[in-house]
């Protein structure tokens, strides 16, 4: 698995061509919840004080997502897009602040951040949640900020995200421990341990 990147840290990352030219900055990350990956980025201009650009960057045009930049082959990777469409897509693909429920109907928490695989994957791997007390009550978790794997049966309806109930058995508040647990979760094909 590639290094995990928090989506909040992508905001303001430069978009850089393989020739070394900074052509834009990331404004918002738009998700395709059905595919479980980044769909595109909305953009601002080359300087951090620039306004929104009437172009976006579809994931298919990304050469590589790194920790310090989103790399593209050339400036032609940016697609012309009316700002109204970019804003609509950004709102539709927004996961931050969404309520998280299990497929059993239990409210788990609220999405604080989304972890994606860097490199060429762009795969949505996990959520960092402000967890409801029921999720951490009686456990060794002292904080109510936890990580939970995305699961394979993700659905989004409005501002609610639904995950498989068994995904909550992999919850932890420690990122290195979570990385090991999510590896085990995906090794089992997104199913609960037998």
Q: What is the pLDDT of residues 39-65, one digit of tens each?
A: 889 898 877 677 777 788 999 999 999
Asked if pLDDT for residue 82 goes beyond 80, the answer is: no
Using 50, 70 and 90 to split pLDDT, how confident is the model at 37? confident
pTM of the model: 0.77
CA distance 124 to 31: 8
CB 55 within 8 A of CB 43: yes
Q: Nearest-5° angle of CA 36, CA 107, CA 174?
A: 65
Q: What are the structural domain ranges in the chain?
A: 7-92, 99-187
- pLDDT per residue over 96-135, tens digit each? 788 888 888 888 888 889 888 988 889 988 888 888 765 5
| 171 against 9, higher pLDDT | 9
- Which homologous superfamily is 7-92 in? PRC-barrel domain (2.30.30.240)
CA distance 30 to 1: 22
């Amino acid at each position: 698995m590639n290094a995990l990147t928090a989506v909040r840290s992508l905001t303001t990352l430069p978009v850089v061509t393989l020739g070394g030219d900074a052509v834009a900055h990331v404004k918002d990350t738009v998700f395709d919840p059905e595919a479980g990956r980044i769909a595109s980025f909305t953009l601002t201009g080359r300087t951090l004080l620039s306004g929104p650009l009437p172009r976006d960057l579809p994931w298919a045009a990304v050469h590589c997502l790194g920790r310090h930049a989103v790399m593209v082959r050339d400036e032609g990777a940016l697609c012309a897009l009316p700002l109204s469409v970019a804003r609509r897509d950004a709102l539709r693909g927004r996961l931050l602040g969404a309520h998280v429920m299990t497929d059993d109907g239990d409210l788990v928490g609220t999405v604080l951040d989304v972890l994606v695989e860097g490199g060429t994957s762009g795969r949505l791997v996990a959520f960092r949640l402000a967890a409801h007390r029921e999720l951490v009550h009686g456990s060794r978790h002292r904080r109510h900020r936890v990580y939970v794997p995305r699961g394979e049966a993700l659905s989004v309806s409005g501002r609610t995200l639904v995950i498989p109930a068994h995904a909550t058995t992999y919850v932890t508040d420690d990122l290195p421990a979570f990385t090991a647990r999510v590896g085990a979760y995906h090794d089992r094909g997104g199913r609960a341990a037998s």
